[in-house]
Structure 1
Amino acid sequence: MTEFIPTGTHFVDLPSPFPMKRGGELRGARMAYESWGRLAPDGSNAVLILTGLSPDAHAASSDANPDPGWWEQMLGPGKPIDTDRWFVVCVNTLGSCKGSTGPASLNPATGEPYRLDFPPLSVEDCADAAAHVVRRLGIGELACVVGNSMGGMVALAFLQRHPGLARQHVNISGAARALPFSIAIRSLQREAIRLDPAWNGGHYDDQSYPESGMRMARKLGVITYRSALEWDGRFGRVRLDSERQDSDPFGLEFEVESYLEAHARRFVRRFDPNCYLYLGRAMDWFDLGDYCPRRSGNSREDTLAALASLTLERALVIGVHTDILFPLQQQEEIAEGLARGGVDARFVPLESPQGHDAFLVDIARFGPVVREFLDELHARGAASRQDPSRIGA
């Protein structure tokens, strides 16, 4: 599997060995990251971005790489996450195939790709690896940690396992635990990959590659990333022109089918199938309620108690009414739990029609909310520097 690592990407070596939560360890592992802006002399303006399953560390363009990033409209000079104010770091998650060590990386013990010899991956491992990057960059305390989708899970694990490393948090379309619907979807995605004969128990290469399985897995994902409302408004029941129709009598007939096929084909060779399996399962395993100080056996109450135990000053939690993959109730749960622990937690439900992926495309709605939170944070930081007695006010 060929890695697609953007120019401008930097690397931090993880401790060797790097212990994994569910057993096993990594040796010679690394994390990929990119950064924007300038770190203040006192280190007070650092913001960490934790991504969803598939993005790399290239969240926005830079002098080192002018190509648009996956969050280009949100991050940069004068944008909602203003790099004239903030020193922003985005890490590629552990277990990915975009620069950080994952199942597609070479195992130093064998000289061959890890494949399924990669240790079981957890969201907590991703959080620990991200925390190591922060510390290696000389940042003792983040102004804010921002997590999107899977990154919202990683951010909560980060806060739980590394108390004091961040003062504020923005959780966007995230979750404190995996719910049955999302587990079921990811299970089907994994099954589609594993049932492709070319997957071959994880032993594929560029010549014999589980393309059909990856296409199906990606299509399932894309269907859940958007809402039925958007699918209807965008495609309706429009059929393909006769010249574009599939010759198969049960082949492509509608515009929505063509869109899914084109989207999947662009993705399948740009993300390693084994990495897809590992990261999806890591999300399914995650439940912040496992860290409840006193387990009650009630999943929701244990999750709320675990959230209440996190050490934070302020938090912004954003969700979308049309999100079926990480439904709005999960963001409301995060805000409620944090508030129980005394955090100044703001919950913002948005009406975007674009479902789970709205944070990537509906910047008109998300941008002002994030900008306002970070502007307030910047103003509070400026006031604290002028009057140290205001710190934490």
Structure 2
Amino acid sequence: MEPGSKIIKPPAFTPTEARAASGARRFVRLEQPFRMHRGGVLPRVDIAYETWGELNEDGSNAVLLFTGLSPSAHAASSPEDTSPGWWEDMVGLGRPIDTRNYFVICVNSLGSCFGSTGPASIDPRTGEPYRLSFPVLTIEDVAVAGREVVRHLGIRQLHTVVGPSLGGMSALAFCVLYPDMSRGLVAISSAARATAFAIALRSLQREMIRSDPDWLGGNYPAEKPPLRGMRLARKLGMITYRSAEEWDQRFGRERAGGEHDAGDQFGVDFEVESYLEHHANKFIGQFDPNCYLYLSRAMDLFDVAEHSGCVATELAKPGIKRALVVGVETDFLFPLHEQEQLAECLEREGREVDFVALPSIQGHDSFLVDMDGFRPVIARYFDRA
């Protein structure tokens, strides 16, 4: 934060100006036009990030972390912000990515709503939010924005670039676009391209949001977003993020307490319904709907093969010396066979590639909740370094 800056606590999904950093969050402001991968230009870009640990003299201990679709750059707590981060059990002192040894940088994705420029940001040319005038967003744009943070910090080569889910796609795009900028790659529950099944699910989520009368073609006021559409989209998302095995073990046919509202015979009867309702209501108001649409679509558009026509050719580019690919047996959003294919495509002479399949029952969300399964795998990768 610049000297004399005013600390502002904005609404949950309203990005701040770069000078309005709070807590551990910092910003890189790009004053030059930012050209998007599929066309369009942003006249100015802010990229929010947080860091943990200390950069060594030659910068060789830097780890770049890309996030999934909805998290901010707050991956872990710090003295500046003691609130738990979304990967609290993975980043920090004595944790698998040990900040006594590594300097960790987590970037809020371009197009998001937690400080980085996105559809909810103010277009400096008009003084109004970009909304749907924001250019088409791609995973490549997220990767380029991450590289700008790395350059801003004076780092020439990363130790490793890490990412789960959308973040894994961003990490892959980073290594394809800048093959010499990282010696290592950790891709978790991700893929080199979106499959038809995942596209279909995300398409339905986007339709739920756009079908809400309050969406208003993307021109909703910040104080009245399309909450019903977001709530339904989040419920479907929660179903895809977990597994049928977990639902059965956690909820079975347990009944929810309480009575229906008068005249509502189709209200919540079961605990699993109550769970979905709780998480949907928790999510709405915390994430801008247009940002959700753009990031969701970016995942669908991603295809490593777009760059040369062959996934294996792109992923076999020299630069990366070690790679770890982690998948989960119960993840049907990014199924295990995709992780196996990704690991195979990363194989090349002189590169060490490890593939790990975990039996976690929490599905796609396992990397957030099954720390007993994930911690040893990530720790082994970094301990060996």
Q: Distance in 2 between matches of 1:78 and 1:226?
A: 29
Q: Distance in 1 between matches of 2:58 and 2:200?
A: 46
Equivalent residue for 2:315, pick from 307, 311, 324? 307
CA contact (8 A) 2:52 2:104 kept: yes
Deviation at 1:14, TM superposition (A): 2.4
Structure 2 residue 279 is matched with structure 1 residue 275: no
Q: Distance in 2 between matches of 1:310 and 1:318?
A: 21
Q: Write the deviation string for residues 151-189 of structure 1: whole angstroms up to 9, x where unpaired.
A: 000111100111211000111111100001110010001
Matched ranges for 1:128-207 at <5 A: 128-207=144-223
Deviation at 1:334, TM superposition (A): 1.2
Equivalent residue for 1:352, pick from 348, 360, 371? 360
Q: Distance in 1 between matches of 2:135 and 2:261?
A: 42
Q: One-letter code of the match for 2:176? A: Q
CA contact (8 A) 2:179 2:317 kept: no
Structure 2 residue 370 is matched with structure 1 residue 365: no
Deviation at 1:244, TM superposition (A): 4.7
Deviation at 1:273, TM superposition (A): 0.2
Number of the residue aligned with 2:305: 289
Q: One-letter code of the match for 1:150? A: L
Matched ranges for 1:16-27 at <5 A: 16-27=32-43
Deviation at 1:306, TM superposition (A): 2.4
Q: Write the deviation string for residues 289-339 of structure 1: whole angstroms up to 9, x where unpaired.
A: 1123xx3xxxxxx22332223531000100000001111111111110011
TM-score (norm 2): 0.93
Identity %: 58
Q: Distance in 1 between matches of 2:30 and 2:242?
A: 36
Deviation at 1:53, TM superposition (A): 0.2
Number of the residue aligned with 1:223: 239
Q: One-letter code of the match for 1:35? A: T
Q: Write the deviation string for residues 348-374 of structure 1: whole angstroms up to 9, x where unpaired.
A: 000000100000011111101110110
Structure 2 residue 330 is matched with structure 1 residue 322: yes
Q: One-letter code of the match for 1:338? A: L
Question: What count of residue pairs does the alignment treat as equivalent?
Answer: 368
Number of the residue aligned with 2:383: 375
Superposed CA RMSD? 1.4
Q: Distance in 1 between matches of 2:248 and 2:318?
A: 41
CA contact (8 A) 1:91 1:130 kept: yes
Q: One-letter code of the match for 2:11? A: T
Deviation at 1:246, TM superposition (A): 4.4
CA contact (8 A) 1:152 1:173 kept: yes
Q: Secondary structure at the match of 1:201?
A: helix
Number of the residue aligned with 1:118: 134
Number of the residue aligned with 1:255: 271
CA contact (8 A) 2:180 2:318 kept: no
Q: Write the deviation string for residues 210-231 of structure 1: whole angstroms up to 9, x where unpaired.
A: 0100001111111000000001
Q: Distance in 1 between matches of 2:367 and 2:91?
A: 12
Q: Distance in 1 between matches of 2:343 and 2:223?
A: 47
CA contact (8 A) 2:326 2:355 kept: yes
Structure 1 pair 309–163 and aligned structure 2 pair: CA distance change class (3 A): closer
CA contact (8 A) 1:227 1:355 kept: yes
Q: Secondary structure at the match of 2:50?
A: strand
Q: Distance in 2 between matches of 1:341 and 1:265?
A: 50
Q: Distance in 2 between matches of 1:244 and 1:81?
A: 47
Number of the residue aligned with 1:390: none
Q: Distance in 2 between matches of 1:14 and 1:303?
A: 31
Number of the residue aligned with 1:40: 56
Deviation at 1:13, TM superposition (A): 1.1
Deviation at 1:341, TM superposition (A): 5.8
Q: Distance in 1 between matches of 2:74 and 2:304?
A: 28
Q: One-letter code of the match for 1:265? A: N
Structure 1 pair 178–239 and aligned structure 2 pair: CA distance change class (3 A): same
Deviation at 1:25, TM superposition (A): 0.7
CA contact (8 A) 1:44 1:142 kept: yes
Deviation at 1:15, TM superposition (A): 4.8
Q: Write the deviation string for residues 270-300 of structure 1: whole angstroms up to 9, x where unpaired.
A: 00000000000000000001123xx3xxxxx
Structure 1 pair 246–372 and aligned structure 2 pair: CA distance change class (3 A): farther
Consecutive unaligned residues of structure 2, counting only runs of 5 or more, are: 1-9, 16-21
